[in-house]
Amino acid sequence: MLGAGAGGASAAYYLEKYAAEFGIRPSITVYGRSSYTGGRSTTVNIFDDESELAELGPSIFVEVNRNLVNAVKEFGLTTGEAHKPRSAEAPERLGVWNGREFVFYIVGRRPLLVECSWTPIRTHNLIKSIVGSFLKTYEEPYFPFRSLSQAAYDLGLTNITSETGERFLEANKIKPLFSTELIQASTRVNFAQNLPFIHGLETMVCMATEGTVSVKGGNWQIFDGMIKASGAAVMLSTAVKQIRETDFGTYVVSPEEKSSPSPQEHEYDVVILAAPLQDSSITLTPLPPHIPDKIPYVKLHITLLTSPHHLSPAAFNLPPDALVPSAILTLGPDETPRNREKSAGHAGFFSTSTPRRVTSPSSHRDEYLCKTFLQPRSLKLILRDSWVLLAVVAILVVT
């Protein structure tokens, strides 16, 4: 497995699991270019304190994701909210900001889809139908499948993936205002993408938010557990430079010399590339008949900061004594950005939130942790003074 993220970890795990049912014990090796497992699902320590973690990658998953839910149970991981309660002066509140004003608020944990009338109900029913079809890929007669594409076609999912989210919602009579102010605001926080750039299935899955959970200590533990359960040999901090097919139908994997203390070549019967080929320097010899198309990724900056202060009300055109929502989704005023490089739009960022309080080791007081998703741009407009920059991490988000 070339890649120690979610793809490589799950491939190793299920290969060993299903092979064992037929009495086969495969010998698996997982290569990882980074020094850790989990790929984009990773955490950082706040103030270098291992007990204070913040997710940089996927922060939550939902109960309909059976693979992750089952893995959590199998590996004995604990789910829930592993953070300090929010203070009474900063109640949980979500706002959608259009660059000029908040178009609406949601207080507490009321379901998003019951705030309006028939359009949310129609959307909710559409989500249930599509997610229900998707879950059938885990069931007979569709599972196990030789081709996921064929299974998706048989279930009618390719009709949804062939349309953009924008066109799919229009075709299903979802009002444009609701699509922009709520659904697109959600795709921006989840995918850093607007509706014209993602397909209909992604759009609907993004709104399937019931039963959201996270693993205490970091979701990366799911994929670390998968690799361990597979019994795979693990070669981290090892970048691969070449995959060469031999005359005997096997494959020789050659690590980069500078990336490994012992860059020895190894021969395998099968090689699974579980990482974007376009972002690697791997040479394939000979070239396969089909090379995957390049995927247009979005370079996303995840910025973590701490401060004893809330976000600035003035930045959001609010009175000085107003409380800014603890979670802010965004959309541009009367716009749906068509340029990927400027997809944050007029708002300037995709989302920001103050999910919890942390204790500063220097001041010994509670401070707010702010997590912001944005493209390269200044944060000065939305922050008060005295914010401490903890980390700016650029990751790639699949469209």
Question: pLDDT at position 335, please?
Answer: 58
Question: pLDDT at position 262, please?
Answer: 61
Q: Alpha-carbon distance 159 to 2, whole Å?
A: 32
Tell the burial category of 331 from Cβ atoms under 10 Å away from its Cβ (0-12, 13-18, 19+). buried
Helical (H) or strand (E) element with 352: strand 351-359
Q: Read off the tokens for 370.
A: 């702010």
CB distance 135 to 64 below 8 Å? yes
Helical (H) or strand (E) element with 166: helix 165-171
In tens digits, the chain (399 residues) has pLDDT values of 999 999 999 999 999 999 999 999 999 999 999 999 999 899 988 888 888 888 888 888 988 898 999 999 999 999 975 444 444 455 568 899 988 889 888 765 554 444 455 788 889 899 999 999 999 998 999 998 999 999 999 999 999 999 999 999 999 999 988 898 889 999 988 888 889 889 999 999 989 888 889 999 999 999 999 999 999 999 999 999 999 999 999 999 999 877 556 678 999 999 999 988 888 889 999 998 888 888 877 777 888 888 888 888 888 899 988 888 989 999 865 555 566 667 777 788 889 888 788 888 888 888 888 888 877 554 544 444 434 444 444 333 333
Tell the burial category of 88 from Cβ atoms under 10 Å away from its Cβ (0-12, 13-18, 19+). exposed
Local structure of residue 248 (DSSP, 8 states): T
Q: Alpha-carbon distance 304 to 354, whole Å?
A: 10
Q: If you write DSSP's letter for every residue of 44-67 in order, what string do you get?
A: EEGGG-TTSEEESS---EETT-HH
Q: What are the φ/ψ torsions at residue 17 (nearest 5 degrees)?
A: -65, -50
Q: What are the φ/ψ torsions at residue 117 (nearest 5 degrees)?
A: -105, -120
Residue whose entry in the numeric block shows the structure tokens 């031999």 = 246
List strand residue ranges (DSSP E) for 182-294, in order.
212-213, 233-235, 240-245, 251-255, 266-268, 283-285
Q: What's the CA angle centered on 318, arms 357 and 178, to 5 degrees?
A: 85
Closest to 32 measured CA to CA, from 53, 11, 46:
11
Q: Read off the tokens for 218.
A: 């970091």
Tell the burial category of 257 from Cβ atoms under 10 Å away from its Cβ (0-12, 13-18, 19+). exposed
CB distance 312 to 383 below 8 Å? yes
Q: Alpha-carbon distance 189 to 330, whole Å?
A: 8
Q: How is the chain split into domains, by residue range?
A: 6-78+216-285, 114-209, 298-397
Q: Can you list the pairs that 187-192 forms with residues at least 24 positions away whose Cβ atoms lie under 8 Å?
A: 188/329, 188/330, 188/331, 188/350, 188/351, 189/329, 189/350, 189/351, 189/373, 191/397, 191/398, 191/399, 192/298, 192/300, 192/343, 192/350, 192/373, 192/375, 192/397
Closest to 351 measured CA to CA, from 188, 236, 218, 196:
188
Q: Check: CATH 3.50.50.60 for 6-78+216-285?
A: yes
- Collapsed DSSP state (helix, strand, coil) of residue 264: coil
Q: Alpha-carbon distance 372 to 309, whole Å?
A: 16
CA distances from 96 to 103, 174, 188, 352, 392 (A): 6, 19, 11, 11, 24
Bond prior to 286 in cis (omega within 30° of 0): yes
